[in-house]
A and B are shown apart, each in its own frame.
Chain A
């Protein structure tokens, strides 16, 4: 079960039997439950907070308003934003509990502590808060209009203006000389990430030792540790953060949240364990949301359909506050608006705006699905405008004409590691039977069938492997992009791998074991992976941005190589040979020419542990570590084809078929790759057809629960047909790219291209997401909504 084989996951038996422990499964005696009192208004002045009734309730320990907490001196700094995208970005201070103003529905205005889950909920309801309602900025459009302020002490809702304009003159010239231009105005609706495990936290103090252990349903325990220290003033070296089993993240568990800080400081202050688990309906307020952008993209093309220029402006909805990377999400997409195409002139600007809504932040793909959506919808609009087949238009514009390339610098200034788009498209079209589909579409159109076909395609590219630390520095992102690994050969020949990556469903334990199994010629079941606990794995930058394999996995491979090199010296010493004469293959060292005499690397662990007979100057123990900072990002790509059936009588869109041909470079575990592709696709399909966080004019979220927020169910999805091409990355020694977000980056545009294609006989040129039956039906009737 080496690299490239579909090994069954090591994680599964525990999870399949209920043995896996999620945060809410872990209990300690004496624990207090937090209950959050949340603002019912999107924008209000807090006049008074009365906790006296709550305090009288049985089992209630204490209750605090925001002012109480501020008075207790619990905060060394506001909640952190790690990505001040510009020098002059507006970043109003944001504390875990609001003291003076509530700026979105669900912002915490008081917290109660009680001895049970139900008791905390009851006590929170007994807190009486007096508000004075203020006008609320209840949508991105209202924020841009700027006639009401989301923060009453600010004179504009605009938080920043950011530009990526390498050559504006070239862009102007491209548009001045264009034979065809198209403009797409797209709305990336707000999405509720909806990981199936709600977020939760448990803080366990050690009153006399001063230590604090925090369990959190987090993708980023390492970042959390640093940032809890920075925001609470608790000494970082007294903090231990553990992300136990984590039930999906999708970006939503990549943050530093009020509840985490409250649990940490209150447990420390009260010398009591403190816990909280969000309810699903609460999650619409207590966990950030995704997307929330208005996009304008313009393409200029010559008479042959060669795209010569691309100009993009975004208005991005920050929500009420800047969370960890809120302002940077659009920037993550900015470099990808030219997609897989060789478009010589490019310009991008983005304005970030405050609204009185739940803050936005990373959601699967973070900026890149938005970019892919815009360019891929615009390419379809251009194809329609020119009367050209969308596959043909794409072919004409691929980088390197669709041939294999390495290290190609696109006009957005990034150097794509490698790509080979032509055969990838060919494979997808063949699997979809594209010509057959078009023939069937024509047949149904000619016959005036009640159910019409729509066919949509995309070729996406994504940036993953976040990230070269210097590149992040250049973007003003206050974090490195390296990942750390330690590989340790134990005395008995088993291996421990310590990784700074933090899985929450991705199967790292399996993939990392396969990497070691390949390097050391051993059974992957003899490898144990330690992760997600800052005491076991002190160094790490965690899991997001499809970085785990291409940064964290590569770090493990590099550390394994260092172990091999040390072991080679030991073997040479043992064989009384020169190290250069010692060969290594599949775990075994032997002297050139005498293969019969050999030693397996697993056998050297004991000698390194005994240290009785090591080469002069060699340190005992066989373990090595690597902090790998990638020299470049990795750029996976793929072609997806969506086939929808539109019921012209009801407007219902059914996804009939979905074909995905992805290229994530070399694969470590094809089974896991496939799973990531499937899940990613469905999340994009959800955005295209079903999901949207809906707000009324007062800024109330109208669908916070699963009754109204339509996470796709098994019924709405077809089976997905997958295949792959393999174009190794040049950014790392494994040639791997990343696949965690790829499906999502391709699928929303593929489905919407299919929907618009299906509706094109009605003159429909674009449609807003989600393409609900009502929207589709209206479009068929010629009504735009």
Chain B
């Protein structure tokens, strides 16, 4: 089946099986491999992208369901001149990543969290990122990164 969608501002299309997950379309067909897969039960959040501006675990959608939608992946976050998105920069400043595998999903989830709640409490950040797992950082510096991006720390 053919899907047409907008990814990071560019029109793209691909021919996929109906069962193809959005995350596999993004990774395997569009070769945007920054979006990661960490589980097979929609539990880890490594695959988080923005769909029409809202954060979505891209393993929970079929590729064909993205027909006509606007997707932003981690590759679309930094400015064209390479300047990191403020959330990416906050993760860098606060050592919010180690192996970096959960990071794209964390950054996408955290950006959309701040969009909904621009000045969250620490507890709200933890609650907002509940669906994103990290095995390396113990979350302390991830929470710090998000608070810092929100201007709260």
Interface residues of A (CB under 8 A from B): 8-9, 11-22, 24-25, 27, 117-118, 194-198, 245-248, 250, 279-281, 504-507, 671-672, 674-675, 678-683, 705-707, 711-715, 717, 719-720, 743
Contact = CB atoms under 8 A, between A and B. Distances in A.
B41 A280 contact: yes
B99 A196 contact: yes
Interface in B73-120: 73-75, 77-78, 84, 88, 91-93, 95, 97-104, 107
Nearest to A19: B34
Given A16-B100, A17-B75, A18-B33, A672 B126 contact: no
A12 B91 contact: yes
A506 B27 CA distance: 26
A117 B137 CA distance: 30
B125 interface: yes
B50 interface: no
Given A245-B100, A675-B136, 12 more contacts: A15-B99, A196-B38, A196-B46, A196-B134, A247-B101, A506-B98, A674-B95, A678-B138, A678-B141, A706-B38, A713-B132, A717-B138
Nearest to B101: A247
A706 B130 CA distance: 13
A280 B42 CA distance: 11
A21 B139 contact: no
B143 interface: yes
Interface string B121-151: 0100111011111111111111100000000
B143 A719 contact: yes
Contacts of A194: 135
Contacts of A672: 95
Nearest to B127: A715
A118 B19 contact: yes
Given A196-B46, A705-B43, A16 B17 contact: no
A247 B125 contact: no
B101 A22 contact: yes
Interface string B36-54: 1111110110100000000
A14 B92 CA distance: 11
B60 interface: no
10 contacts: A12-B91, A13-B84, A246-B99, A248-B98, A504-B99, A674-B141, A682-B138, A707-B41, A714-B127, A717-B138
Contacts of B102: 196, 247
Contacts of A717: 126, 138-140
Contact of B98 (A20, A21, A505, A683): A505
B28 to A, nearest CB: 7
Nearest to B32: A18
B13 interface: no
A648 to B, nearest CB: 23
Given A22-B101, A280-B40, A678 B140 contact: yes
A248 B99 contact: yes
Contacts of B95: 8-9, 671-672, 674-675
Contacts of A197: 36, 38, 99, 101
Contacts of B135: 194-196, 248, 250, 679, 683, 711
Contacts of B58: none
A542 to B, nearest CB: 16
A77 B64 CA distance: 47
B6 interface: no
Nearest to B99: A505
B35 interface: yes
